Amino acid sequence: MRGILYYRPENPSGEQLLTLLKPIFTDHILSCHRTVEHLSRDLKQSANDQGIAILCLDTYKDLSAMLEIRDLFWKHRIVLILPDMERETVARAVQLFPRYMTAPDQGLNDIKDVVSRLMEQRGDSSPKH
Amino acid sequence: MADILIIDDDFNVCLTLARLFKKNGHTTVCVHSMAEGIETASTQAFDVVLLDVMLPDGNGLEILPAICRTPSNPEVIIITGAGNPAGVELAIDSGAWDYIEKSSSPKEMLFPLNRALQYREKKKAANTTIAFKREDIIGDSPNLSQCIDLLAQVSDSDSTVLITGETGTGKELFAKAIHANSARKKGLFVIVDCAALPESLVGSVLFGHKKGAFTGAESNQTGLIQQADDGTLFLDEVGELPLSIQKDFLRALQERRFRPVGGSIEVASNFRLVAATNRNLDDMVKLGTFRKDLLYRLNVFPITIPALRDRKSDIKALSIYHVARLCGNYDIEIKGFSPDFFHALEFYQWPGNVRELFNALDRAVTAAHHEPTLFSKHLPKHIRSEFIRAGLKHTEAAAGAGFPMDNGGTLPPFKDFRDQMEHDYLEKLMELTQGRRLDACSVSGLSRTRLFELLKKHSLAQ
């Protein structure tokens, strides 16, 4: 089970999110990306099992950039941290088919619970050999 | 122009009607008994059948249902003698479209025919299947095709849909297809993953909340039910919806109104619900963990997606599709497939369904490196083992058809028999595993040391 975390270096919530998520990924890989290019390359090259992508997007431009590479996320369950939860923002964000959406003003602590549960799901849904 | 069958033993009536219909651009076939009528209607396509009641081999009304059941399902117009209202009433009750009196004028005879043909045209137009956008749903096996027919039917309506199926069968994909083919396709497709949300979050995510409704609620939030207004709300893993939330959700489903957490004013949302689960909701109702009334509301249009082992003829198409996608992502030449690759895939039972298949293909493409063709050796070990075991069983069955006897036709000594069986088994094992000892150990259950000893004993060690 693999995790991908994306946030731009300028994003103030990014480091906070990384600190929250690290303990969940002690037995799994969590790859961090700061640019869309690096993220795309990783998604294209990845031959691992399905993963979870936590995308922390602080601008609409960032969200647009994710929408342009959305086809690369087909193996991943997506968790989105959006600039806000206004209808227009959500209307664009749902095109990524996220499993959970929130914004920094809602608090980030719930993300840890959600990501843990997604990892359990993915672990349970793979046949054991 | 229509094709018309006339069943009447009166040759004059047949001739008159045939000329009249031909003048109006239709083609006509005339027969003169019930038996001929049924046979002709069963073997040729007609739009309308004109059926006399008094026929030499019986009452024409007796074959009316059978005529309606013929492949072309024609409209039936009864030909009656003048002044027989009881007969007319009986004919209509029996399913006839209309009637013609034999004494009618040509205009009076054409009127019911033209109405029947207009009705038939409208019926055809309503039954025309609009192309269903399958998105990434791949395959044409009978089980999948049946499922897609249901998807097409339900996409046209606003019914609540409950999609069931094992994990990895693609329930989300089907839900997306329903949305993409519905009148709501311009609205949002909003996913709620009930299994991913802690119980404390579910209410707020679904219904939204007001600032200050609970600790951490620092601003108002619009819930996903409201976000799905005029769109589709996809409730994945609906069996995980907490019991405490089910009642409020049921109300929202029934009335399309709800109150955000901490709010006093109701909000309306015109959403269409598609729900999915791999759990048995009937069992959950019996256990008291799922509300019966909510299940009743969800189960308006149930669709079960077949497991991959029940649609094995789709495996090849799925594999070709997915490998092409992988090669595109990795920017490499598209790989070909050996026959044994597909055979191996088809032997395996796929408990993880399409998701497991795609993961296996991921690993095969990686294992193949720069090789242009995928072979069974590139597949994960547990899939290869099943294929190899299946091959061995087939060989053993063939071999066991006749009991081995020595040339004299008597039972050989036990040790000789055992050594021969061992030798044949090992020979077949190494052939099927292409000499790969790790695979041979996996299939046979022998340790490496024991395998090596036996191979050496039977001079099969390379």
Do A100 and B193 count as a contact with CB atoms less than 8 A apart? yes
- Alpha carbons B161 and B303: distance in angstroms, whole number: 7
ipTM of the complex: 0.90
The strand pairing partners of B455, in sequence order, are none
Q: Which pLDDT score is estimated for B51?
A: 93
- Which residues, listed in sequence order, are joined to residue A114 by a DSSP beta bridge? none
Between CA B440 and CA B431 the distance in angstroms is 10
Give the range among A94-108, B29-43, B244-258, B395-409 with minimum mean pLDDT.
Answer: B395-409
Q: What is the mean pLDDT of residues B309-321?
A: 94
State the pLDDT at residue B127: 55
Lowest pLDDT segment from B134-138, B223-227, B373-377: B134-138
Residue A47: pLDDT over 60: no
Is B119 in contact with B97 (CB distance < 8 Å)?
A: yes
A6: β partners:
A33, A55
Mean pLDDT calculated for residue range B77-90? 72
Residue B134 has pLDDT above 80, yes or no: yes
Q: Average the pLDDT over B71-81 and give the result.
A: 85
CA distance B437 to B426: 11
What single DSSP character describes residue B218?
A: -
In A, which residues are within 8 Å of B203 by CB distance?
none
Q: Which amino acid is at B374?
A: L
Dihedral sign for Cα atoms in the order A92, A94, A95, A98: positive
Least CB-CB distance to A91: which of B176, B188, B197? B188
- Residues in chain B with CB shorter than 8 Å from the CB of A113 are 198, 201
φ, ψ of residue B98 to 5 degrees: the values are: -165, -170
Mutation target for B interface from A1, A92, A126, A128: give the one with most B CBs within 10 A. A126
**Residue with tokens 């601008």, as numbered in its chain:** A59
User: How would residue B28 be classed by pLDDT, with cut points 50, 70 and 90?
Assistant: very high
Q: How confident is the model at residue A7 (pLDDT cuts 50, 70, 90)?
A: very high
The pLDDT value recorded for residue B393 is 58
DSSP-assigned letters across all residues of B230-291: TSEEEEETGGGS-HHHHHHHHHHHHHSEE--BT--S-EE---EEEEEESS-HHHHHHHTSS-
| Contact between residue B451 and residue B444 where contact means Cβ atoms under 8 Å apart | yes
Find the distance separating the first CA and the last CA of chain A, reported in whole Å: 15
Contact B271, B231 (CB under 8 A): yes
Residue-wise pLDDT tens digits, B372-404: 999 988 999 888 887 777 666 555 555 554 455
Other beta carbons less than 10 A from residue B150's beta carbon: 18
Of B197, B222, B363, the CB nearest to A87: B222
pLDDT at A127 over 50: no
pLDDT at residue A129 above 60?
no
Among B58-72, B180-194, B208-222, name the most confident range: B180-194
| Strand A100-102 to A76-81 pairing | parallel
CA triplet B365, B368, B374: central angle to 5 degrees? Answer: 75
Give per-residue pLDDT as tens, A15-41. 999 999 999 888 888 999 999 999 998
**Is A127–B197 a contact, with Cβ atoms under 8 angstroms apart?**
no
Tokens of B282: 């009937």
A45/B355 Cβ within 8 A:
no
Q: Provide the 8-state DSSP code for A114.
A: H
Tokens of B171: 């329930």
pLDDT, one tens digit per residue, over B264-303 is 999 999 999 999 999 999 999 999 999 999 999 999 999 9
pLDDT value at position B162? 97
- Chain A interface residues (partner B, CB cutoff 8 A): 43-45, 47-50, 72, 75, 77, 85, 87, 90-91, 94, 97-100, 105-107, 109-110, 113-114, 117-118, 121, 125-127, 129
Distance CA B116, CA B109 (A): 12
- pLDDT of B401: 47
**Better-predicted residue by pLDDT, B408 or B210:** B210
| Average pLDDT value for chain B | 87
Q: CA of B337: how far to CAs of B297, B358, B374, in Å?
A: 46, 15, 5
Q: For residue range B324-349, what is the model confidence (pLDDT) as tens digits?
A: 988 887 888 889 999 889 989 998 99
Handedness of CA B30, B32, B33, B35 (dihedral sign): negative
Q: Token pair of A77, please? A: 């369950």
pLDDT at residue B68, as a whole number: 82
Query: What pLDDT does B131 receive?
Result: 67
Distance from CA of B355 to the nearest CA of A (A): 8
Query: Is the pLDDT assigned to residue A124 strictly greater than 60?
Result: no
Q: Which residues of A touch B359 (CB under 8 A)?
A: 49-50, 126
Among B135, B188, B385, most A C-beta atoms within 10 A, so best to mutate, is B188
- What would the DSSP string read from start to end of B286-325? HHTSS-HHHHHHHTTEEEEPPPGGG-GGGHHHHHHHHHHH
pLDDT of residue A128 exceeding 50: no
